[in-house]
Structure 1
Amino acid sequence: MKNLKTLLFITLMSGLCLTAQNKNTKKADKEFARFEYVDAAESYKRLIDKGDGSPYVYGQLAECYYNIFNTVEAEKWYAKALETSENPEMIYKYSEMLKANGKYEESNKQMEKFASMRPSDNRATAFRKNPNYLPKILEQGKKFNVQDAGFNSAQSDFGGVEHDGKLYITSGRNDNRKTYGWNEEPFLDIYTLSKNSDGAYDNASLMNDKINTKYHEGLVSFTPDGKTMYFSRESYFEKDYQKDSLSRVRYSQLYLFKATKLGNDWDTVESLAINSENYSVKNPSVSADGSTLYFSSNMPGGYGNFDLYKATINEDGTLGEPENLGQKVNTEGQEMFPYISSNNTLYFSSNGHLGLGGMDVFYTRVIDGKMAPIRNVGIPINSNGDDFAFIINEETEEGFVSSNREGGQGSDDVYAFKKLQPLCDVLITATVLDDTTREPLSGASVSLYDADGNKVVSKTTNEDGIAEFIVECEQDTELEVVMEDFESKKVTVKGTSEEEFGVQISLDPIEKIMTPEEIVLNPIYFDFDKSNITAQAAFELDKLVQIMNKYPDLVINATSHTDSRGSDSYNQRLSQRRAKSTQQYVISKGIDESRISAEGKGESEPKVNCGSNCTDEEHQQNRRSEFKIVSGGPQAEE
């Protein structure tokens, strides 16, 4: 992405125009200050060829290649500059270029050096907290199918906002336009494309001259009613720019504008009040309800170069005060291209969070007033290059992302994608222990159930007593653990948005639920006026079967009880049916019918003698099944 549109979306240098290091570098420095990185790189290389191999020249040359995303050359010259320099930001950029070139181990070494120099930097603390983050991103699974969008040109193309049957992109494909010195491509304009009967987009057309000017225009976003379009544009159009007193270079900011729908076209373009000649405001995204505008800015008071902000869209169309999205989202690096989807998921691009190289796409949501963890979208949306302008229709699960990855048509290209799997997932790590010895239990069967009680998958614990599952965020699940000679157990796992969640499950040895007189199971419940065995009752009865299999001489008498509601005769018949169902379930599991008798007690033997004044909890305690030991068991074996 570090090419022509970097003027629009990474930084306008905002006054960071460099003066000449000495008279020899004056020409190259002036080209650099004008963002003419292609020419500046040639000038710095000529100086090196003439013997001026100073750390300054090496560093400036590396910066030129960094800004046009020539990662191989940028890596080469950062390495030369760092032979005699210890600049932390340069070390960070060097690690980024190494990572973009697939040299992950070397990149991590430079990140470790950067972290030691700036231990309080968010980028450093994130790296030290998770130094092995790269394999996790690469191995988390491909959740998208990504393909070339089919309408890219040899120049820069990015964006992809669908609205009213058209697709809006930003492109430098207009060869009749003046080229810009950043990378010698034409200035950027906003285009619309039409959708064919086969679903493909083509016939790119320039928007009218109220929207496109001779300067750069950027991405667009629409209000839900379709009457207002927000977009970025260079402040040169407003005759609003600053001039560096030393370099004599003029530089502009990026402003946000809004246009109003007039018939079938756009008109009445207005500059937003949040614009300022002192900073840039760009990358608009309107929330699905039209109440909030998200954008990126390098206004004072942020955490890094560009941060993400939001502002309320008032009923009269004006904006409230910008609100920084906070340090959890924003880093000391660059956060840009916010997109707020219909389910309030915030997608954005960053080179400050841990990624694969260049800018990666990340996402988060506000849940219960708190920002969920920032997550990397993963491959193939993200690559070793810059990946940005991610937009998704949450209903169709289709969208567009832009990238300068290898294999494209131009310097930047638009890619269409289809989501294949849920994006947000949680790694549940279940550790099964012997409750008596606290040792891990290897070979336990752990089954995962969804919120509807359906078994999803079963796994066996490893030698450390661990079984791992991937589940969708914010979805309640249940784990059922079964182990020979241990009491089975079910554990509910509440939905979470944390990336990893650990749960420890301790199993009691099977004898622990036995006394010399009875076997004590969790309450066995029946549906109202029913006697069939429920899934929960079956789970408890399986423990009884397990014990009876271990002690083949064990003989059980099962009794079922009701609460005091209903007539005596009705409760007696109901309890008898339930006792009989309990007996039949155990027999169906292979236990000889001579080993289990069944008896209904009705309401005659309450657990809590509360008469007609029972609470719901007391009624529940009285509706129970009990399992008396008639003969056999561990005591008989002794």
Structure 2
Amino acid sequence: MKKNTLLLFFVLLTVTVSAQNKDTKTADKLFDRYEYVNAIQEYLSLTEKGHSDSYIFKRLGDSYYNIYNTVEAEKWYAKALQSKQDAETYYRYAQVLKSNLKYGESNQQMKTFALMKPSDERAIAFMKNPDYLPKLIDISKLFDVEKLSVNSVDKSDFGALLFGNTLYFASSRNENNAVYGWKNEPFLDIYQSNYNEDGSLGEPTLVNDLNTKYHEGPVSISSDGNTIYFSSESFKDNLFVKDKVKKLKIGQVNLFKATKINGKWTNIEPLPFNSKEYSTSNPSISKDGKTLYFSSNMPGSIGGIDIWKVAVNEDGTYGSPENLGAKVNTVGDESFPFIAEDNVLYFASNGLIGFGGFDVFSFDLGKNDQPSNVGKPINSEKDDFAFTFNKEKNIGFVSSNRLGNDHIYSSIPVKTAKILTIVTNAKTKELLSDVKVVILDEYKNVLDTKNTDTLGEVSYDVENNKAYMIEAYKDGYVYKSVTVDKFKESKTTVRVSLDPIDMIVTENEIVLNPIYFEFDKNNITREGAAELDKLVYVMQNNKDLVIAVKSHTDSRGSKKYNDDLSERRAISTVQYVISKGISSDRISGKGYGETELKVNCKECTEEEHAINRRSEFLIIKK
């Protein structure tokens, strides 16, 4: 038998034997009656007796899932999935991992689920937008990117630099140039394009003062606009090595500079540390003009290509090139340095940990910490490089082959904002300290959790023009959720008034938000658990309180089906409360099907249906 066939047989055998048996009969009966708390105790007793059956583990996971104990559900699903399970189990495991803030692991389980049930709407939604959870690393989005209109259709365009109102970049679009073998494209030339006030770009034109029949570009320009540094080939300076065997003249990429006189670039000259033995390329001059950064594989490099710097003296001479050292350079390649006005160096690396290929990194030369990955969407799984930034116009540019060819993308900084939350007591109006405040995105993913200070305040840094949700929790108070609509300002204030728990207890009932259920489901949702926790709190502090739960369905389905469904929902609600330590003789439940609709409608909307499927709470004894 082949190895993979034997493995498949073992998996199938494992699933087959992991099923109901006489030992699980009592627990299964409780589970089938939706008495999950008692079922858990029975299943746990079996594990304590040495049973290690994936069927039991799955039932424990499902039981804890149905009473919204995500920590325990995660534990038992993990054990169950040591053997092959049905797709729904992988989905549920993904959800509890997400609830427990294990986003990366959740993503992996969702991918498995999507492979098993690719046509499932949940799988389709996940595959369309897999980034709704943080991926490999948690990096805040710093820029929005957009492909520029000046890119050619199928040739290389990269290394954009905006100086004043002119965008300079390198491109192989010139069909009149000879073709070089590396990419089977014409040699690179330097182009320029007018940058208009509305952000649009004019038709690119050749910078004929600098271009030759060899490669040219990218460029860097001094802050006064009178000196340009650019890459070209050493053939320009008659520097090359002859390979007699291959009958080739082997050149290098070298650095050159030119000065602007009467609107033209003249006095082109090579930099003194060029060589026919190694390359020097991709220049970036500091704002004060005293330091030139570049990439090279000259002797002293740590890896293949490294980032170097050299002093530019007032008399026009140069110091000795210095390697930026092991914090920046790796055994891989580092190239395309750009020194920003705030003394932050941006560069591309395939040696530092990234998303794949070359990634753009930043390195604060003043702090001298470790380089930071700039994150998505600047970086992708492909090569991303040649990042530059124009502070005056507040726009940057990055080059990437994420769509196949090297092309240029604008990089617009994400506008950051603050959400200030102020929490007060709804009854006394006093400020509340030590309130747990949770912020979620529009997809209900938890972004952060903080506690209010002595002034009842807490603030979060967010992206503006996006919707958020604020949830506030404090013992003795009713949980509250507030939606924060999209805003364009740099700051918005959210005021949350929490009702003391004693305000929700009336003579005849506990006034909670209705416990809503998903269509055709009876498991307790996250929102439902938050409401039921209020009930638990009240019952813990009022020992004589006895509650009757009334559960309802919407009008869809047959009367018998709805009666059964509402009964299951009542049991789920009761089981959740019991699982929190409330005695079973203090809470009971009954299903009323569709007999007491909140909204009596003939053609109900989804919102109206949702209002009808609920649980309510009556006080039957104090």
> If the TM-score is normalised by the length of the shorter chain, which range does it land in?
0.3 to 0.5
TM-score by length of 1: 0.45
TM-score by length of 2: 0.46
